[in-house]
Structure 1
Amino acid sequence: MSEKPSVLFVCVHNAGRSQMAAAWLTHLAGDRVEVRSAGSAPADEVNPAAVEAMREVGIDMSAEVPKVLTTEAVRASDVVITMGCGDTCPVFPGKRYLDWRLEDPAGRGVEAVRPIRDEIRRRVEELIAELVPQGAR
């Protein structure tokens, strides 16, 4: 792994789970981790309920847009975290892959998104503890 670890969050639409995970990692790790997110079939916009749920905890995702998953993004990442992208995520030797099974917030209201948001934060905090050396925190 490089000096500054790089993490790619992938879900189908890059509109909810992967966007929230990327926002949490950016918020909690700052510049100690390089953060990317993408989707195998990106939506037109980020899920408004996900944007609102993150706004409630002081994180603004309103300017984010879904991005298409590329082999270059996977190749440039040390850790690839999938969230329901199935077989569409390219696999490269030497990469660390994790699959976070989380409910899909698509089409759900902010009340349903809050527990997903909170579970993503918990997992991101664990990821930071693994990736960032104690002295660098």
Structure 2
Amino acid sequence: MLVGQGAPGATAPPEPVTADLLRAADRVIGPGSPDLGPLRPGTAVRARPVCSNPTPDRWPEVLGDLESRVSALQVEITALAAGPACAGRPCAAARCPSRSSGVPVNDQTDATSPLDTHVLERTAERLAARHAGVLSPEVVERVVFESYTALSRTARVRTHLAALAGHFAADRLAALAHAREGSGPPQVLFVGRHDTGRAQIAAALLAHYAGDAAVVRSAGTDPGSTVDPQALRVLAARGLELGQVYPKPLTDDVVRAADHVITFGTAEAVPVYPHTDHQDWGADRTVTGNPEELEMIVAEVDGKVRTLWGTIRP
């Protein structure tokens, strides 16, 4: 449900927000304060900044922002929905333009090679067996192919994209299963704008301190193509070898599964669920710079991560 304000000069009056509409909604998106009235338990609420009466020169910016947000919302909703069968078999959004998740189809994102398709299908079968009884094979296949599509939007090199999408899908499905079962260690999600700097640093540090006692993820509202190499070098100097890390798009399944969501100036782009603790650690400024500045940033994040872990550890 989208909640707005009446526009001056509008040809028709806006539809009033009623209690019935609010209770029926799975998501409520509106300007300003998220305190909109009676909601059904589990409804996600997002507060958006009010842009009242933009001047003509700002309309392209406003419309572009809205298009981006609506596309991201469509991806989230599609990822959680169990798809109907297409011609007797599960429908994967990445292979079926009629079931597009809202991500604009182009030559790069829609061009799935036969080898990649084979890898993704085998990955979906393996993950469906892992989550049998919790997640349907249709949901698993949809998430696998959508993960491939999402990562392909920012991938510079596509050689190992299918394998990377398999790792991303496995993490998303684990989050979705956790959200449905509600058991296991605490889940922590760090969200930056590009998931290339401080969100990755914080996730690496917490994963190092927590080990198997917590599940740690990072994501970006506008993911970049690679993690900042200088950040990786500083972490390596601290004894943290991260292996295969990559920026990941923010999806609703990992937000829904999180017990703690830490944002870096990106709180407005993250759904709010009643069970989740939210904290914002300030704007996700770039970590690229001279070594002294970079060390200061890592030390600042490290101090906050240690405090967080001391608070939430089981």
By the TM > 0.5 criterion, same fold? Answer: yes
Q: Is the 8 A contact 2:287 2:297 kept in 1?
A: no
Question: Is residue 19 of structure 1 aligned with residue 203 of structure 2?
Answer: no
**Given residue 82 of structure 1, which amino acid in structure 2 is its aligned partner?**
T
CA distance in 1, matches of 2:308, 2:233: 24
Residue number in structure 2 paired with 1:105: 286
**Structure 1 gaps, min length 5:** none
Worse overlay, 55-64 or 120-129: 55-64
**Given residue 279 of structure 2, which amino acid in structure 1 is its aligned partner?**
L
CA distance in 1, matches of 2:293, 2:257: 33
User: Which structure carries more relative contact order (alpha carbon 8 Å, separation 6+)?
Assistant: 1
The verdict on how the C-alpha distance between 1:86 and 1:97 changes in structure 2, with shifts beyond 3 A counting, is: closer
**Structure 2 gaps, min length 5:** 1-181
TM-score, L = length of structure 2? 0.40
Residue number in structure 2 paired with 1:55: 236
Question: Is residue 8 of structure 1 aligned with residue 180 of structure 2?
Answer: no
Residue 103 of structure 1, CA deviation? 5.7
TM-score, L = length of structure 1? 0.88
Q: Is the 8 A contact 1:15 1:66 kept in 2?
A: yes
CA distance in 2, matches of 1:26, 1:107: 22
CA distance in 2, matches of 1:62, 1:13: 19
**Given residue 29 of structure 1, which amino acid in structure 2 is its aligned partner?**
A
Residue number in structure 2 paired with 1:28: 209
**Given residue 200 of structure 2, which amino acid in structure 1 is its aligned partner?**
Q
Residue 43 of structure 1, CA deviation? 0.4
CA distance in 2, matches of 1:63, 1:49: 15
The verdict on how the C-alpha distance between 1:59 and 1:78 changes in structure 2, with shifts beyond 3 A counting, is: same
Residue number in structure 1 paired with 2:223: 42
Question: Is residue 96 of structure 1 aligned with residue 277 of structure 2?
Answer: yes
The verdict on how the C-alpha distance between 1:26 and 1:51 changes in structure 2, with shifts beyond 3 A counting, is: same
Q: How does 1:70-89 map to 2 (within 5 A)?
A: 70-89=251-270
SS of equivalent residue, structure 1 residue 7: strand
Q: Is the 8 A contact 2:265 2:284 kept in 1?
A: no
Question: Is residue 65 of structure 1 aligned with residue 251 of structure 2?
Answer: no
Residue 39 of structure 1, CA deviation? 0.3
CA distance in 2, matches of 1:82, 1:94: 16
CA distance in 2, matches of 1:53, 1:6: 25
Residue number in structure 2 paired with 1:129: 310
Structure ID, larger Rg? 2
